[in-house]
Amino acid sequence: MGLDGVGPDLKAVYPGGKGGGDIRWEQFRLNPAPAGWFDTGVISFVHELELARADKVCAYMVRSVECAEDLDLAVTMGSDDSMRVWLNGVIVHEFIGGRGVNVREDEAVLQLKAGVNHLLVKVVQGGGGWGFGARTVEYLDTGDRGVAQEDINIAIDRGVEWLISAQLRDGSWPYEQHRFRNGQTALVLYALLKSGVSATHPAIQRGFTFLGARMPRMTYSAGCELLALASLPGDEHLTRMEEIVELLDDWDQTGFGYPGGVNDLSNTQYAALGYFAAASKGIEISRRTWARLVVYAMNTSDGAGGFGYWQGSAASGSMSSAGLTVLVIALRELGDARGLPAAKRRAARRAIDEGLEWFAKDFPRETNPGTGHQRRHPYCLYGIERVCAIEDIELIGAHPWYWEGASWFCAYQKRDGSWPSGGDRYFQTSFALLFLSRATKSLTGGRTRKREDVWVTAQEGAAVRVRATGDTPMTIWIDGFGEEFLAEHAGVRVAKVEYLAGGEVLEEVEAGVEAKWQGEKYAIRYRFARSREYELVARVHFVSGREENPGAIQLGVIESPMLKVRVDEIPEPWMIAAAEVERFNHLPAEGVEATATSENLEGQKPEKAIDGQESTAWYCGAKDTEPRLTLAWRRGVLVNRVVITQAPPDPLNLGKADYAQEISLCLNKSSERIVVQAPEDHRAPTVIDLGKDMRIKHLEVYLLKRITGTHWKGCAGINEVQLQYVEEDGTLREVRRR
């Protein structure tokens, strides 16, 4: 463990662990200190080791740091509970006692030497929480930024996967949908598109289908939807964008707020972003609009570089990045054209320069300046990205803003891929992805990040290697043959290549044995039927390269190792229909009485099953053996289909509640029941065709033959009950609302 020493044997196994288990080194599942930087974030050993709890144990962590020259590295650390730190075999810091993790609590200087330095940390657990965290006092890039970029790409992909997995059945993402119906969903779509998700991905298609059912009602929602729409290829959405711009124009009061409320800088920023997105698609925004945005933003400046939520409010990092965003966008769009007096233009330019100096003095690396906490910290960092992308800035003072922000995001990403930092995790994860993918660059002429699906045989020494890329369709080809296999046969003559998935032949490519293989790919393009994981194998029929008369030789056969690939861009049949259900639900919007045999909690009442929100649900009580939901209204509604979506609302909670395998309906108090099987896919709606047109004004829904949930045993529920009318041609009759 000394300087330039070999370090510990990371493959060694030591007997005598607690409970008789062996002790061994393990790679962090989530690397707490990416190769490009020192920061670890907060490490929870209980979570990292997937333990229910741990008492009176300890953990060791080791890391090697190679330095080109001697360096005194100032760091801060925190632990839960006691810790001891060695550098090159010498104790350099320790704390004895019980406490929680605060990364900034202990200070130390690591005297790194030229060469390979070994850092060893021991953390002792008394009881309760068990963790560690470390960071440098000043930002230090301790590694290759190319390597760091790989960590960033992994973080982006994990965040994307989490957001897609969290999409609700109706195509939305939940957060205050009763106020900001389109806002959260539009922001997530924007983040996914800028993170490289294809516009043809089912998550994107479902999300925009959900948005299309209603116009935005709030400034935030309008701005985010314009950003999302501008990120789609082509111009087919220009009409909707123009309609949303008209809404913003109607709400403009030399600043923006909640329609009918007081203006604020946060709303005004999202109006500016929406206008900016619209302008990027060629929609004309008046000079007067840009000038008014400048005037409002300047009124919220504190005169010292910072900006507040309202005029006269204390400055914060999140609002200062918002104020700078409005100014840099408006000045960029105004250009040299008239519309803003020269004095105001100079004042705005000076405010931008002073704002950047304000951030240079208190850079928002870990907290939101002016607040002392992490609330709205990702929101603030994404604001920094916008300003620096538009202004083409790489340094704020001495701070490489992107790498410092990226180090924080990579270190603090959660195990599931999200970023729940002091607020709603859907918003925070969206802001993190927008920052890491440098989303604003594409609005200013840069390229959107391209997310590619690439799979390749990883097994060393494989006789045949396969590579695949794309989604729908997927291109699959031979990546090469193993050196040992080629040497054994003095080359290979390929007669035919078969590509299989799950043991079934997808396609085959005929070749010829006249000549030896010279790098031919034998590629196919294949469209799989469903989105899921597939196991690919390439089966090669061949003749040894030694044969002088290959046409007369019996063919040999070799197969590649199985290669797992993932298809995502084929929507399930129910997905798009579920996203547009709001247009076709004939259940009366008012006057429906909802009752049930039981309810689980206060917020899970029967009326939640008919509130039009996929983010809410009715749950029965845990002891209700035959839960029933009853709906009644005065006037009969002509329908011929009933659609039931079962709880839980959040797809991340699938399997936690009971799931009814059978659903029974009683219509208009009839003694007869209609019984249907629920889909095996718990996300899919149960669609019940009545077989005839009926006027319904009383409906009972029974949940039968339940699969017991893992967490909320006995509690089954319904997200939404929908009534539909299917025309003779199979189309759905749209609802006419007054």
Confidence of residue 421 (pLDDT cuts 50, 70, 90): low
Mean per-residue pLDDT, 452-473: 90
Confidence of residue 423 (pLDDT cuts 50, 70, 90): low
Mean per-residue pLDDT, 313-327: 94
Mean per-residue pLDDT, 15-43: 77
Predicted confidence (pLDDT) per residue in 108-162, tens digit: 999 999 999 999 999 999 888 899 999 887 766 666 677 678 888 888 999 999 9
pLDDT for 175: 74
Q: In this structure, which amino acid lies at residue 306? A: G
Please choose, from the candidates 142, 147, 121, 9, the residue with its C-alpha nearest in 3D space to the C-alpha of residue 65. Answer: 142
pLDDT for 15: 85
Give bridge partners of residue 659 from the DSSP assignment: 707
Residue environment code for 454-466, b if the CB has 16+ CB neighbours within 10 A, otherwise e:
ebebeeeebbbbb
pLDDT for 546: 85
Tell me how many degrees the CA angle 298-299-301 measures, rounded to the nearest 5. 65
Are residues 80 and 130 in contact, defined by beta-carbon separation less than 8 angstroms?
A: yes
pLDDT for 627: 96
pLDDT for 374: 67
Residue with tokens 């494989």: 462
Q: Six-digit token pair at 80?
A: 């839960």
Mean per-residue pLDDT, 672-676: 94
Residue 335: Cβ within 10 Å count: 9
Backbone phi, then psi, for 191, in 5-degree steps? Answer: -65, -40
pLDDT at 445 over 60: no
Are residues 524 and 510 in contact, defined by beta-carbon separation less than 8 angstroms?
A: no
Predicted confidence (pLDDT) per residue in 351-392, tens digit: 999 999 999 998 887 788 887 666 788 899 999 999 999 999
**Torsion of Cα atoms, 433 then 435 then 436 then 439, to 10°:** 80
Mean per-residue pLDDT, 421-427: 75
- C-alpha distances in Å from residue 626, one per residue of 474, 618, 667, 703: 47, 14, 17, 7
pLDDT for 718: 96
Are residues 663 and 704 in contact, defined by beta-carbon separation less than 8 angstroms?
A: yes
Are residues 111 and 8 in contact, defined by beta-carbon separation less than 8 angstroms?
A: no
Q: Give the number of residues written for the chain.
A: 738
Domains, the chain, ordered by start: 13-143 (2.60.120), 146-443 (1.50.10.20), 454-566 (2.60.40), 580-724 (2.60.120.260)
pLDDT at 738 over 60: no
Rounded-to-integer distance, Cα 344 and Cα 323, Å: 15
Average pLDDT, whole number, for the chain? 90
**Torsion of Cα atoms, 646 then 651 then 653 then 657, to 10°:** 10
- C-alpha distances in Å from residue 377, one per residue of 159, 202, 385: 17, 31, 13
pLDDT at 446 over 60: no
pLDDT for 737: 57
Could you tell me whether strands 674-677 and 593-596 are parallel, antiparallel, or unpaired per DSSP bridges?
unpaired
SS3 content of the chain, % helix, strand, coil (to 5): 30, 30, 45
- Neighbour-count burial of 528, counting CB atoms closer than 10 A to its CB (0-12 exposed, 13-18 middle, 19+ buried): middle
Residue 550: Cβ within 10 Å count: 19
pLDDT at 443 over 60: no
pLDDT for 574: 86
- C-alpha distances in Å from residue 231, one per residue of 67, 187, 234, 442: 43, 11, 9, 9
Greater model confidence, 52 or 294: 294
Distance of CA 170 to the CA centre of its chain: 17
Q: In this structure, which amino acid lies at residue 480? A: G
Report for 177-186, 414-423, 724-733: range of highest mean pLDDT: 724-733
pLDDT at 658 over 80: yes
pLDDT for 442: 58
pLDDT at 2 over 80: yes
Rounded-to-integer distance, Cα 410 and Cα 33, Å: 8
Report for 136-145, 222-231, 418-427, 507-516: range of highest mean pLDDT: 222-231
Are residues 312 and 264 in contact, defined by beta-carbon separation less than 8 angstroms?
A: no
pLDDT at 338 over 90: no
Tell me how many degrees the CA angle 65-71-77 measures, rounded to the nearest 5. 65
Confidence of residue 30 (pLDDT cuts 50, 70, 90): low
Predicted confidence (pLDDT) per residue in 517-568, tens digit: 999 999 999 999 988 899 999 999 999 988 878 777 788 999 999 999 999 8
Distance of CA 45 to the CA centre of its chain: 24
pLDDT for 179: 73
